[in-house]
């Protein structure tokens, strides 16, 4: 029964890990727009093929997550 003393803190740590991940996801704006990423997903693969063709014009600017300041 004493093993529960180990299991409970472990389970809480894991759960808190997921909660943190969730909060990070919300804060980084992933819940702002739940529609466009699903469309982008379908495009991703082809975009790579395309990128090789026009490799020299890759974006020169850092890719940043667009979010409010």
Partner 1 sequence: MALPHTDQLHRFSEIETIPLGNERNIANTPCIHCGSLCHTGMFALADKSFCCRGCLTVFEILTANGLTEFYTLSESAGVRVTTTAKDDHFKFLDEPAVRERLVDYSDARLTRVTFHIPSIHCIACVWLLENLFHLKPGIGQTQVNFPRKEVALSFDSTQVKLSEVVTLLASLGYEPELKLSALDSKPRSRVSRRLWIQLGLAGFAFGNIMLFSISDYLGLDAFAGPWFQRMVGAISFTLSLPVVIYSAADYWRAAWTSAWQRILNIDVPIAAGVAAIFLQSCYEVIAGIGNGYFDSLCGLIFFLLCGKLFQQKTYDRLAFDRDYKSFFPLSVTRRAGRAGSPLPAARDRQGDGAHGVTRPTTVDEEQVSLSQLDVGDRLIIRNGELIPADAKLVSGPALIDYSFVTGESEPVGKAADDYLYAGGRQMGGAIEVEMIKNVSQSYLTSLWNQDAFQKEKAELLNQITNNYSQRFTKLVIIVALGAAVFWTFVNPALALKAFASVLIVACPCALALAAPFALGTAQRVLARRNIFLKNPYVIETLAAVDSVVFDKTGTLTAAGAGSVTWVGVPAISLAPRFSPVSGGDIRGKPFQRLVGRAKEETVETVSNSRHTDNSRLKPGVNETDASNPSDLSESEERWLFSMTRHSMHPLPVRIGEAIKHNYFPEPVRSFLETPGCGMEGSVAGHEIWMGSAAWLESRGAWRAAVSAAACRSNEGSGTFDDGTQTDALGTGTGALQGSAVHVALDGKYRGSYLLTSALRPETERLVSGLNGRCEVALLSGDNEKERGRFVEMFEAEAQLNFNQSPLDKLTFIKHRQEAGKTVMMVGDGLNDAGALRQADVGVAVVENVSAFSPASDVIMAASMVTQIAEVLRYAKQSLRVVRTAFWISAAYNMVGVAIAASGKLSPVVCAILMPVSSVTVVAFACGAAAWFGRRAFKVEAQP
Q: Which residues bind partner 1 (CB under 8 A)?
A: 1, 4, 8, 11-12, 15, 18-19, 22-23, 26-27, 29, 31-33, 35-36, 39-40, 42-43, 46-47, 50, 53-54, 57-64, 66, 68-69
Question: Quick one: the chain helix, strand, coil %, rounded to 5?
Answer: 65, 0, 35
Q: How far is the CB of 45 from partner 1 (least distance, A)?
A: 11
Q: How far is the CB of 23 from partner 1 (least distance, A)?
A: 6
In 1-69, DSSP assigns E strands to none
């Amino acid at each position: 029964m004493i093993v529960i003393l180990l299991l409970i803190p472990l389970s809480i740590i894991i759960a808190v890990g997921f909660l943190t991940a969730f909060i990070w996801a919300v804060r980084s704006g992933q819940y702002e727009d739940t529609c466009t990423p699903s469309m982008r997903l379908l495009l991703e693969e082809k975009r790579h093929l395309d990128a090789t063709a026009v490799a020299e014009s890759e974006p020169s600017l850092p890719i940043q997550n667009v979010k409010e300041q």
